Copies of this chain bind each other. A is one copy, B any other.
């Protein structure tokens, strides 16, 4: 989902920026402390890039199980597969850890333009939305571009359906219309709300995603429409045409169901209680096959441990892979992990998440103290063969956020190209075919190298 880096992380990102800019005034030769690790780093990178193993595993996952939405049979089956496969890989202490997750059911849904008559508009209900009555809600549409415009035109909103036609600039800037649009509209008496999909214009591609109702405000149905249709309705409104739609959504929230984080380890040879945590989230939205969000993040972080196991590399500290459940509509997996390991939070040396795809050009982001940043920049020099030695700020992740906050744990993120990622984010087009095998291998190589060095280094990564 890629939420953390754009929300609570603002202040740490600033700290991190300062750390990066300071250290950049002192160019240093490659530090000698890395020397004992260079050989294994080279082996890990070579092995990761020797074939398409990681891409093939991602294909097996996404082809076989498809979308893995919280509470779905597909996710449950995929979790069984991941657990068994981790064991076959030779990871240690492979286990599932129970997490109660929400179960939102999309059901049938449709949006029909009634005036001017008459055409179905592609749409996706937003996660957590209530449904409409069985016959749907038919109402006139008011189109606004911003929350400010909504407030200025508050008198026109009652009994209408509000369309937020906010042009996508970045996920961080535009996302608020998806997450908060329904309640903003309901405050002024709207009967439903629509949001222009959060992402670059695709091919009439709606983007789903979660939304949250504010307390004390009526809960109204809410859905995303495509950029193309948002512009179309905007033009009709600008021409003074009456716009009327019928929205039908069966959406409902059922009782929580049990799901699991999947955990596998390489126990540390000398400091097994110190943990380098690497992972992604194994759940996805119910459209697409969750390839970039976040199947690939799970596969490439899992690869860090698999590659070490295959090459017989056991670092001094424990490497722990976690495939978190329910990031998309709850972050229950990340919260449950924190709750379960709260007493060991400070024993987490580094938390690594991959949850923004692996599309080229990728970069690595780190968030930590100045001392930690210096050490990570040293490690970053080992990634020069991958073209990833330009480590920058922006470490973080929704799933590692809770444990990191509890233990003041430095965070690292693998960040794929945002333009490509957000084009398919939360859409049916989040599929594997658009991810190049070499992009997956490169991410696996980089994360394996970083994980290994941090886990094996004499010096613990500073707080």
Which chain B residue shows the least CB distance to A241?
Answer: B64
The distance in angstroms between the C-alpha atoms of A229 and B266, with both chains bound, is 36
The distance in angstroms between the C-alpha atoms of A66 and B77, with both chains bound, is 42
Tell me which of B63, B232, B429 contacts A63 (CB under 8 A): B232
The distance in angstroms between the C-alpha atoms of A113 and B66, with both chains bound, is 10
The distance in angstroms between the C-alpha atoms of A100 and B63, with both chains bound, is 46
Tell me whether B63 and A433 are in contact (CB under 8 A). no
Of the 9-residue stretches A196-204, A309-317, A402-410, which lies at the interface with chain B? A196-204
Which chain B residue shows the least CB distance to A205?
Answer: B203
The distance in angstroms between the C-alpha atoms of A241 and B59, with both chains bound, is 13
Which chain B residue shows the least CB distance to A59?
Answer: B235
Tell me whether A117 and B204 are in contact (CB under 8 A). no
Q: Is A424 an interface residue (CB 8 A)?
A: yes
Tell me whether A74 and B423 are in contact (CB under 8 A). no
Tell me whether B74 and A429 are in contact (CB under 8 A). no
Which chain B residue shows the least CB distance to A202?
Answer: B203
Nearest CB on B from A144, distance (A): 18
Nearest CB on B from A278, distance (A): 27
Known contacts A63-B235, A231-B433, A433-B228; A118/B74 CB under 8 A: yes
Known contacts A117-B73, A118-B73; A433/B201 CB under 8 A: yes
Nearest CB on B from A276, distance (A): 33
The distance in angstroms between the C-alpha atoms of A423 and B63, with both chains bound, is 24
Q: Chain B residues near A236 (CB, 8 Å)? A: 63-64
The distance in angstroms between the C-alpha atoms of A288 and B228, with both chains bound, is 10
Q: Chain B residues near A231 (CB, 8 Å)? A: 433
The distance in angstroms between the C-alpha atoms of A428 and B202, with both chains bound, is 11
Nearest CB on B from A251, distance (A): 16
CB contact list, A191-231 vs B, under 8 A: 201-205, 227-228, 231
Tell me whether A116 and B64 are in contact (CB under 8 A). yes
Which chain B residue shows the least CB distance to A56?
Answer: B235
Nearest CB on B from A110, distance (A): 10
Nearest CB on B from A383, distance (A): 31
Copies in the complex: 2
Known contacts A203-B423, A205-B203, A241-B64; A232/B118 CB under 8 A: no
Tell me whether B431 and A204 are in contact (CB under 8 A). yes
Tell me which of B113, B117, B423, B428 contacts A122 (CB under 8 A): B428
Q: Chain B residues near A67 (CB, 8 Å)? A: 119
The distance in angstroms between the C-alpha atoms of A235 and B289, with both chains bound, is 14
Q: Chain B residues near A77 (CB, 8 Å)? A: 117
Q: Chain B residues near A183 (CB, 8 Å)? A: none
Q: Chain B residues near A235 (CB, 8 Å)? A: 59, 63
Tell me whether A288 and B204 are in contact (CB under 8 A). yes
Tell me which of B65, B203, B241 contacts A429 (CB under 8 A): B203
Tell me whether B228 and A429 are in contact (CB under 8 A). yes
Q: Chain B residues near A205 (CB, 8 Å)? A: 203-205, 429
Q: Is A175 an interface residue (CB 8 A)?
A: no
Known contacts A63-B236, A236-B63; A74/B119 CB under 8 A: yes
Known contacts A59-B235, A119-B67; A431/B74 CB under 8 A: no
Tell me whether A203 and B118 are in contact (CB under 8 A). no
Q: Is A427 an interface residue (CB 8 A)?
A: yes
Q: Chain B residues near A232 (CB, 8 Å)? A: 62-63, 289, 431-433
The distance in angstroms between the C-alpha atoms of A203 and B67, with both chains bound, is 16
- Give A contacts to B, CB under 8 Å: 59-60, 62-67, 73-74, 77, 113, 116-119, 122, 201-205, 227-228, 231-232, 235-236, 239, 241, 288-289, 423-424, 427-429, 431-434
14 contacts between A and B (CB under 8 A): A63-B232, A63-B235, A64-B236, A64-B241, A65-B116, A66-B116, A122-B428, A201-B433, A202-B203, A202-B429, A203-B427, A204-B288, A228-B429, A228-B433
- What 8 A-B pairs have minimum CB-CB distances, sorted nearest first? A203-B429, A66-B119, A204-B429, A204-B428, A203-B203, A228-B431, A202-B203, A64-B116
